[in-house]
Amino acid sequence: MQGDDKEKEESSPYGNEEEDEGPAVSSFTSSAPLKKGKHIVYLFSPTCPRCAKFKQTWTALTKREDLKKSGWNFATVDIDDEDNGGGDLAEEIAQHLSPIMSGVPSLHVAVDGAMAEVIAGSEGDATLDEVMKMLNRQVQDSSKSGSKSGSESGSKSGSKSGSKLKSEDIKAYQRDGHIHIKGLLAPSEVKEAKEAILRTLEEKIKKKEHSWPPRGVDLASLPCHTKEFKRASGLWNEDATIENLALSPTLAGVAASLLGVSRVRLYTDTVYLKDACDKYTRFHRDLDSIPLNAKIGTLWIPLQPIEEKSLSPLIFLSGSHLEVREERPSNATGVTHKHFWEGGGKLTPKEVLKHYPRDKLVKYLPQNLGDATFHDGWLLHGADHNKQPAGGKARAAYAITYMEDGIRMEDPNHEVQPEEQAFWKQWVFDVQHGDLLEHDMMPVIEQ
């Protein structure tokens, strides 16, 4: 056995070997080992406190006999070791997964060159059991995907492998503040979810737990283009089908990549049902109604194809999320907030066109069943009337709003509009100022 070990050590494609019990742990000096065999790769920084916390779990992982018998190799990448190419190599590994580096500590698997992420930028407190569950799930998903290269790898759970974001997609999103993602979901999954979502909407309206229409309003008495859409939030914990969609690791991974964060939480989910003849949606910024200083974005999933502009697709005002916010006192106490030019107000289409050229307004058409759009929390967006004739097609959409994980509760740097306070008052007083924002209403979504 000793002779076999020596022969293996001399032929190892890795760099310097570290002595340890259990399987040998190697330090990467090249990405060549990824192209053949099975590897668990740990990216870390010696100066990272979270990495120090995770070291015990990593060491225990390398001693698992079942992994050794299954042919897994273990390797580390010190991202600060510039002399040996650690930083460049870490970026190269990340390119197999996402154009945005996920942070450390992070754990990855590579099977014959196909790369997948197990843990990204965690707090370092993941236990061995948790890592093994995520590892097993990722290996199963990777084997189902049938990927043959790192650029093709990824889970197919509830989505097409072709929906994986490219670097140019993320750059365009960062510039414009919105993106159209084709084929993100299977059409059958959207059809199943639509039935559950619309049923839950009607149940919430009956129980008066919806956000629009106002209580007591006779919708049938309202003339064309004066009635707003029906809307309700917090559906995900009412139905298992909706919960699976709202907490989908695949969709959360898309959100995290676009927001440039390692992990996201669900902020809320909302259904919008705009019947034929319903009025336009005023242009607004979602974060104006959210009492947080955080990266936030919304995945908007049409529940039927939108093939023509008369069916009220969202309209995005490209680049408006990058506009300068001016600081000025907001109330008699002298509290200073940062404001965009419209000061948190909601704008009619005519008001928007007075301030912006028409070519800044973007509608995505057609949107097929399974497509989705994603927009930044500070992006101005709205929608036109549902111009279908009375009795015509309704436009239903399901929106999942994500927030970055790991933020602390602090005074928002913007004046919060009261529209959504019925939602955030359910949790905002449960979290102490300065504490990490952790609440059952906003669960972490593991990717």
Query: Structural domain boundaries of the chain?
Result: 11-156, 167-445
pLDDT (0 to 100) of residue 307: 93
Task: For residue 56, report the phi and psi dihedrals to the nearest 5 degrees.
Answer: -65, -40
Report the predicted TM-score, pTM, of the whole model to 2 decimal places: 0.64
Measuring CA to CA, how many Å separate 207 from each of 26, 185, 201, 210, 306?
60, 31, 10, 8, 30
pLDDT (0 to 100) of residue 225: 62
Crossing angle of helices 128-145 and 49-62, in 10° steps, is 70
**CATH superfamily of domain region 167-445:** q2cbj1_9rhob like domain (2.60.120.620)
For the domain with range 11-156, which CATH number is right: 3.40.50.300, 3.30.499.10, 3.40.30.10, 3.30.1330.10?
Answer: 3.40.30.10
Q: What does each of the 447 residues of the chain score in pLDDT, given as a tens digit?
A: 443 433 333 333 323 334 344 446 666 555 566 667 888 888 887 877 778 888 888 888 888 888 887 888 888 887 766 565 555 555 555 544 443 334 567 777 877 766 665 665 456 777 887 788 777 765 554 444 443 333 333 333 333 333 468 889 999 999 999 999 999 999 999 999 999 999 999 999 888 887 766 666 766 666 676 677 789 999 999 999 999 999 999 999 999 999 999 999 999 999 999 999 888 899 999 999 899 989 999 999 999 999 999 999 999 999 999 998 877 776 655 667 777 788 888 898 889 999 999 999 999 999 999 999 999 999 999 999 899 887 889 999 999 999 999 999 888 878 777 777 777 888 888 888 888 999 999 999 987
- Give the integer Cα–Cα distance in Å for 347 and 351: 6
Amino acid at 313: P
pLDDT (0 to 100) of residue 23: 47
- Give the integer Cα–Cα distance in Å for 193 and 196: 5
Q: Give the dihedral sign, CA 180/185/191/194.
A: negative
Residue 381 forms beta bridges with which residues? 284, 316
pLDDT (0 to 100) of residue 248: 96
- Give the integer Cα–Cα distance in Å for 166 and 146: 19
| Cis status of the peptide bond prior to 349, with omega within 30 of 0 | no
Enumerate helices (H) and strands (E) in the chain, giving the number of each. 11, 19
Residue 17 forms beta bridges with which residues? 26
The residues, any chain, with a CB within 8 Å of residue 59's CB and separated by 6 or more, are 20
Task: For residue 268, report the phi and psi dihedrals to the nearest 5 degrees.
Answer: -165, 170
| Cis status of the peptide bond prior to 105, with omega within 30 of 0 | yes
pLDDT (0 to 100) of residue 292: 92
Cβ atoms within 10 Å, residue 309: 12
Query: Cα-atom radius of gyration of the chain, to the nearest Å?
Result: 24
Cβ proximity of 347 and 284 under 8 Å: yes
Task: Using DSSP bridges, classify how beta strands 372-376 and 72-78 pair: parallel, antiparallel or unpaired.
Answer: unpaired
